Structure 1
Amino acid sequence: MLTFVEFPADVELLSTGQLRMPFSDAVKYCILGISILLLLVALAILIWQIFRCFSETHTSYPHQDTVNTDLLYSEEKPSGAENYASPPSTKVVDVRAEARRLTRCLSRASFPSEQNYAESDMREHQTINRVHGSLRFSVYYDQLQAFLVVTVLQVEGLVGSSQTSGLQPFVKIRLMWAGSEGTELESQEGQVTPSVLWTVLQEWRTRVVKGSCNPLYGDQFSCILQDNKDMINHITLRMEVRNFDKFSRHTVLGEIRVPLGKMNISFPLELQEDLQIPQKDLVGEVLLTLKYLPTSQRLEVGLLKVRTAIAEPSSDAVMHARISIQCNQSKLRYQKTSAVHRCPVTVFNEVLMFSLPDVPLEQCKILVSVYETPSTGRSNKCLLGHLSVGKDRSSEDEHWTLMVRSVRQPVAKWHGLLL
């Protein structure tokens, strides 16, 4: 059923012209002015963007020498050709050279170069040079009983008063015995000098004195040497002053070296020596093999042999190595070898595989640390020495270069173990 609705006669539909806005003329003109102003701003932004786009397009090409094509034409031109303009000049852009330049810029900005490593080593060397001080100690050796006594008395003048609050010095003492001769080492001047393998006979450390630049110790250490009159002539007393750090490695502030064979220590002899720049001693040699697999981005490190000098053969001493890879100043997870009985030439014959991250191979280096532990327990782990192989070390460039050239082929070389 349809229902019809009737509208009243007085109701009329409003036309478009009858619609009125409840604003005054002043408000209407203000709104119109604001809209025109926004339109002008939008047009100005559009024109500026177009101008910027064209300006970047013209300046993106490198400035190269122009080649005038007038030289391609003969100097003898017909008379009618004088009325015509010469051909336009042409710019020659070497795209490959520009790509190489951009690649070098990106590589230098993304990864630290060898110069950065050298600068960091120089800063570390300068910080060591800033530390001054001296160590006062006494040494006594009883020849009848082969009894050696070392007493650490005092460390004087380490740092200034402004840095005294964070200083926690202690002294680490090592008795170094010169054993057999190692392989010949080549210096930077090209001279070949024979090296000596050192062995740590005894190792002690004093107590930590907090907040003092002139700490007093009075700690006494003693040991019995072998019944060999000539042994004292091959022993060097190495004493390092270190700053204790609970959460990181202890900082070496300086060291002194005293050859006991050149002094008369049959009676207590008190000495005071200035601290010197710390140096490393050659304590062994390690035979490593390196093999690089570029397709799978892996590096094989083989530990074949470790050669050390042993003063007192011990039947319960075992040796193991810890090898890790450092890429772009971040260490990967380390791997350990099996424990092998220590002898003058310890044979491991183990190969460890490392997966490298997506970084250039030149930014990686290999860190090897050799430890000695008694076979009865793991509480007395002692560091024998460590070494590093990488492109940033000039003395190890030969082995690293041979590994890169001999892809998928192992390359073996002896390396010095330092302590």
Structure 2
Amino acid sequence: MAPIVTGEAQFAAVPAAVGIISAFGLVFTVPLFAWICCQRKSVKTNKTPPYKFVHMLKGVDIYPENLNNKKKFGADEKTELNTKNVTSPTGTKNALHLDLDKRDLNGNFTQPNYKVRSSPDLDIPSPQKCFVEESKELVTPEGLLSNNAPSSTEKTDKKAKLGTLFFSLEYNFEKKAFVVNIKEAHGLSAMDEQSMTSDPYVKMTILPDKKHRVKTRVLRKTLDPIFDETFSFYGILYGQVENLALHFMVLSFDRFSRDDVIGEVLVPLSGIDLSEGRILMNREISKRNVRKAVGRGELLVSLCYQSTTNTLTVVVLKARHVPKAESSELSDPYVKVNLYQGNKRVCKKKTHVKKRSPNPVFNELFVFDIPSEGELKDTKVELLLLDSGRLSRNDVIGQLLLCATAEGTVGEHWREICEHPRRQIAKWHTLSEA
């Protein structure tokens, strides 16, 4: 029995030893953990500001891959001021240096008091304006009067240049086909003001028949598109080529509205010899020849308001003096009628297309329901005269807006139907620019 008692005492001493060792381990672990936290906190305060803080600085583009553990992104404050006063012979801008340790959260210096000698030869910029946008330069009043500034004529020349279109012409005698290859365009105008770029594509029409219409694919976000697309037109005899003309329309695709027109190119083929093979050509893109407002034609419209049923009857009778399309051919006009309640369009209808008619006769009737609470004071009728296009969006020739606030004959026409309900009143109206 004695050995058994001794074994039980030894087993009883084991938990006591484990408890003592655990207590000593806890005493050493807690101070060690606190020391590590303090070290991490001190290191964290000396690190470079996070990316979001640096990105908030005005006019500075810094990406995460350029950040490192250094406190400074450039030279010290003295070298920064000296480098800003030195301009290169070519007029280029020196690199922008950042000294984040000496700036507050707003990007300004914490100690703005600098001793500057009052000398006319010195031109030291204020430390409050060290952060400038990349597109701007620090200039002195003398620099504003220098000859390096672009003149007004140079600015107009830059605005007038819309780009250059490159293409090639060829005639295939075996297949009796006229071949046009639209290669590329250089230096197009930017239609998107935010991204300063365009989504260009080209529409081409063979004049004067206006039978052959083609267009290239849309290239995204570029001012120097490379199309390299070939179009073959069969059935055109070689003797007929000299009587034709090519009309190129350069446009920028817009997903949410009508495509923007960059410019156009008109190439008469008279005098061009295609018997020796392919000919490479390039032409400057010119501004589109927009129709004048005085020549948009007239529209005969009849209106009738039924007060008992709260309906408005619009009869599009006919149009006259419809101008030709930009390809100098007769237009294919039709009329689109939109009904607005306030600023919201509630209904839309359109007439049939009249092929190649400068004085089309539509004679089509449309009936619109008007809510009783709105009546005619908030109602507007918009009539758009459009030129139908098979492969492109329809061009708006002219616009007519009939409402209570309109002036001239349009306002008189609207007031007459309000004063004389159930009477059909027809009048001619001159179309305006859309």
Give the TM-score of the pair, scaled to structure 2: 0.43
Superposition TM-score, scaled by structure 1 size: 0.44
Instruction: Give the structure with the higher percent strand.
Output: 1
